[in-house]
């Protein structure tokens, strides 16, 4: 399949537009590029559709996606134009727009200042502490397992030596042999014994009808011309506490959000006090006048 670069897809689409609506009807803007569509006061430019088309598509598919996008934009713009014409200069809408603008500016500023000021390093002790404090809300929503999986061709090359090495995984020399054979023959190998997976993730990799193999210990499943060697080192059933490694990133985000909240609370108070000191705060009700 021919793969077309994104910028060339836009060019092809633009050529298509020219052929459809005629060169004399196309307008341009030095900063935003070619004008593609217009509804009342709203305008859609070529630069506005950057990123609309995923990479790797054919010209026909790219053109179809862009055409559909422009069609949806025109329809949405027609509705919003009618709404604006009917509501006119509505004070309520203007107030909502101003509130949204202020909120957006504050959110962006807080995100920016927090990223500059907050320490993003999270230690193992901090993760453990947060994990212990959060266990009540960390029940596994599905079976989880710490496991290793190797998919070998059938018949398994040098089967006797491989299976002996597979069974002796706790012995460094045997495990080294197993890794070497997996590297040479296996088309799929999960060899990190410390990594956790959902049972569904592993089941999806096994041949049909072998989901019963998901249990603690070693098992072998055969299908589609391969032999699957699975070792479940640890198994956490649905409803039990989710293991720390599986929720490590979630806990890290919780810690950083807590730091951000604490920082922004203190920072807000700091800015408020500074504004009062500079006599920029005016309160016209109550005792503070």
Q: What domains are there in the chain, each with its CATH number?
A: 6-88 (no CATH), 119-139+250-289 (no CATH), 140-236 (3.10.50)
The pLDDT, as a whole number, for residue 212 is: 62
Tell me if the bond preceding 249 is cis, omega within 30° of 0. Answer: no
Alpha helices in 22-90 (DSSP H): 59-87
pLDDT 10s per residue in the chain (289 long)? 434 444 444 555 554 544 444 444 445 555 677 888 899 888 998 888 888 888 888 888 888 888 899 999 999 999 988 887 877 667 777 888 889 899 999 999 999 999 999 999 999 999 999 999 999 899 999 999 999 999 999 999 999 999 999 988 888 999 899 999 999 999 899 999 899 999 999 998 998 766 665 788 888 999 889 999 999 999 999 999 999 999 999 999 999 999 999 999 999 999 999 999 999 988 888 655 4
Taking the C-alpha atoms of residue 26 and residue 17, their distance in angstroms, rounded to an integer, is 9
Residue 24 is classified by DSSP as G
Phi/psi of residue 197, nearest 5 degrees = -135, 160
Residue 122 near residue 255 (C-beta atoms within 8 A): yes
Exposure letters 178-188 (e unless 16+ CB within 10 A, then b): bbebbeebbee
Handedness of CA 208, 211, 212, 216 (dihedral sign): positive
Tokens at 178, concatenated: 């197993």
The encoded tokens of residue 200 equal 């569904």
pLDDT of 34 reads 83
pTM of the model: 0.64
* Phi, then psi, of 234 in degrees rounded to 5: -145, 140
* Helices marked H in the chain: 6-21, 59-87, 91-117, 124-134, 159-167, 172-185, 199-203, 244-277
Give me the phi and psi of 206, to 5 degrees please: -90, 160
Question: What are the residues whose beta carbons fall under 8 Å from the beta carbon of 214, sequence distance 6 or more?
Answer: 143, 145, 199, 202, 203, 230, 232, 235
Q: Which two tokens stand for residue 38?
A: 């217009």
How many other CB atoms are there within 10 angstroms of residue 129's CB atom? 13
Q: What is the pLDDT of residue 24?
A: 45
Length of the chain in residues, anyone?
289
Interhelix angle for 6-21 vs 59-87, to 10°? 60
């Amino acid at each position: 399949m021919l793969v077309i670069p994104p910028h060339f897809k836009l060019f092809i689409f633009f050529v298509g537009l020219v052929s459809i609506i005629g060169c004399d009807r196309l307008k341009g803007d030095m900063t935003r590029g070619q004008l593609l569509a217009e509804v009342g006061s709203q305008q859609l430019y070529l630069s506005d559709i950057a990123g609309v088309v995923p990479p790797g598509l054919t010209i026909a598919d790219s053109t179809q996606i862009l055409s559909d996008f422009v069609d949806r934009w025109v329809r949405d713009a027609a509705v919003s134009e009618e709404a604006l014409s009917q509501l006119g200069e509505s004070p309520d809408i203007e107030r909502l727009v101003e509130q949204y603008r202020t909120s957006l500016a504050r959110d962006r500023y807080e995100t920016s200042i927090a990223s500059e000021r907050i320490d993003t390093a999270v230690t193992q002790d901090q993760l453990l502490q947060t994990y212990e404090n959060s266990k009540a809300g960390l029940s596994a929503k599905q079976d989880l397992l710490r496991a290793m999986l190797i998919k070998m061709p059938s018949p398994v090359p040098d089967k006797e030596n491989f299976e002996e090495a597979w069974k002796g995984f706790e012995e460094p020399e045997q495990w080294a042999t197993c890794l070497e054979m997996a590297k040479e023959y296996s088309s799929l190998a999960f060899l990190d014994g410390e990594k956790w997976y959902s049972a569904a993730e592993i089941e999806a990799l096994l041949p049909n009808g072998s989901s019963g193999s998901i249990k603690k210990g070693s098992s072998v499943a055969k299908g589609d011309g391969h032999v699957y060697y699975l070792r479940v080192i640890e198994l956490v059933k649905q409803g039990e506490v989710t293991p720390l490694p599986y929720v490590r990133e979630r806990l890290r985000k919780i810690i950083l959000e807590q730091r951000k909240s604490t920082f922004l609370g203190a920072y807000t108070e700091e800015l408020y006090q500074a504004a009062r000191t500079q006599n920029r705060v005016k309160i016209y009700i109550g005792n503070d006048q």
